[in-house]
Structure 1
Amino acid sequence: MRIATYNVNGVNGRLPVLTRWLAEDQPDIVCLQELKAPDERFPEAAIRELGYDAIWHGQKSWNGVAILSRVGAIHETRRGLPGDAQDSHSRYIEAAVNGVLIACLYLPNGNPRPGPKFEYKLRWFDRLIAHAQGLIDTGAPVVIAGDFNVMPTERDVYKPERWLDDALFAPEVREAFFRLTRQGWTDALRTIHPDETIYTFFDYFRNAFARNAGLRIDHVLLSPAIAGQLQDAGVERRVRGWEKTSDHVPVWVEIAHE
């Protein structure tokens, strides 16, 4: 079973790119981020034409997450991350699909740092860590996938010295990521490619994609109950070269799960 995550950077504006990728690669389960569309503008019909069911949590102009499946019904278990009743951002959706609990997230960017946006990012990360521990404790097979907006190590960023003041590379944020993984989560992409330079985001400016000047900020984490079924993982770089594409690339994992 192939599970993928993709920050589409505007689901309607990039719909030709999204549907082309879905048609060519046919991932079984997909997590999408940055829909940038309210619930009523989600392109459900176009996605269903490709054989996918979908659930989504939209927001006008910003944020937005969705889960797609072509391997069975999607049973939504949570919409929104617990821990802050005042948080109105559409950044988290969770569902059981084909025997696996799928958590799709879009973690806050946090810039500028310092400031209220950075503090919000740290609070959101703390809430995620608390909720993720509960998911681990269930003993269920769980996959957390999405745009985490964090480069965990220097290997995950082109010229790390240029990012020392950025919220995506801040020591507090990187430590939060490792607090999360120390619960027992497996970083699938880094497990399969421990020493390779792999990026999932390339800025539109400064010819970043052609220069391979990227960031690894999109991650797929596996709970102990499913980590042993990991067979392969990778990124689809070619999608970044398509016309009017997202600045992210799809990230995927292959799981030996029927």
Structure 2
Amino acid sequence: MALFSVATFNVNSVRSRLPVLERWLSANPVDVLALQETKVVDDDFPLPFFSDRGYHVAFRGQKAYSGVALASRLPFDDVFHGFGDGLEPDDGPRLIGARWGAMTVVNTYVPQGKSLDHPDFEYKKRFLRRLATLFDRETSRGAQNLWVGDLNVAPTESDVTNASTKGDHVCFHASIREAFAAVVDGRFVDVFRKHRPGEGEFSFWDYRVKNALGRNIGWRIDHILASADLADTSVDAFVDREPRSWERPSDHTVVVARFRR
């Protein structure tokens, strides 16, 4: 059975994380890799690292924060950056999409939100609403959709350690989980949860929490979501914890999904 594999990874600086990417990709040559928080202007993106490994790459970045990229074994039919809806900001460094035939992959770095009373939190909700409109537009094209990336939302109590203490957190507050659910409902299936319904599976362990990985104090905020027809072809999804334990890791790790071709 031929498989198609997709991975998402918030690298927290792509140039700093090249040794981690080299080690991981050598053992896991996925078909599509989505990166967030590349933290580099486009002129300085390490394109040869990916092209030397057989990847076509599209990216949009800026200095010091944000930035997204898609690397693919197959050449892109089309690439788009930002929402393209005429509203501001267009947010190209937070949203990149690509099409291959009937499939569209949208890779996003959703704003974290800072605090419940910060303007960024309301913008986070608007960002999600704009995504819903974008996905409806893609569906109207007949596309099979994948939404991947650091979405900065833990959808359920199973997706965070000690959920009872996180009610006022910008990635777990009821209003942001509702906004996230409104995008997912009727459009996507959480491929990870389809295959891994249990608790204690996370993709982010905060640097600031002592031995967060060892104590498994984390969040599942990195996601691979697929339209229902595409989700039906999924055969597995998992978090690879290992890169978080390597030298100079990101505070996130890699999430992978595999689909039948």
Please list the CA deviations of residues 163-214 of structure 1 after superposition, one character each: whole Å capped at 9, or x if unmatched. 1111101111100111112123110001111233210101112211110011
Following superposition, the deviation at residue 138 of structure 1 comes to 3.0
Query: Gapped runs of 5+ residues in structure 1?
Result: none
Alignment RMSD, CA only?
1.4
- In structure 1, C-alpha distance between the alignment counterparts of 2:187 and 2:36, rounded to whole Å: 24
Pairing partner for 1:253 from 246, 254, 257: 257
Of 77, 101, 112, the match for 2:79: 77
- Aligned residue runs from structure 1 range 1-258, under 5 A: 1-70=4-73, 72-83=74-85, 85-87=87-89, 89=91, 90-97=93-100, 99-205=102-208, 206-257=210-261
- Secondary structure (helix, strand or coil) at the match of 1:18 reads helix
Post-superposition Cα deviations, 1:127-152, rounded to whole Å, max 9, x if no partner, equal: 11121222233332111100100000
Aligned length: 256
Deviations 1:18-64 (A, max 9, x none): 12211121111011000000001110011111111101011111110
TM-score, structure 1 normalization: 0.95
Output the CA distance in 1 between the equivalents of 2:52 and 2:62. Answer: 23
Partner SS for 2:250:
coil
Residue 231 of structure 1: CA displacement?
Answer: 0.7
Identical-pair percentage: 37
Paired residue type of 2:182 = R
Letter paired with 1:128? L
Task: Measure the CA separation in 2 of the matches of 1:7 and 1:76.
Answer: 23
* CA displacement at 1:101 relative to structure 2: 1.2
Query: Under a length normalisation based on structure 2, what TM-score does the superposition of the two structures give?
Result: 0.94
CA distance in 2, matches of 1:99, 1:86: 29
Verify the 8 A CA contact 1:136 1:183 in the aligned structure 2.
no
Q: Is the 8 A contact 2:113 2:121 kept in 1?
A: yes
CA distance in 2, matches of 1:53, 1:133: 27
Structure 2: segments with no counterpart, 5+ residues? none
* 1:98, distance to aligned residue in structure 2 (A): 6.2
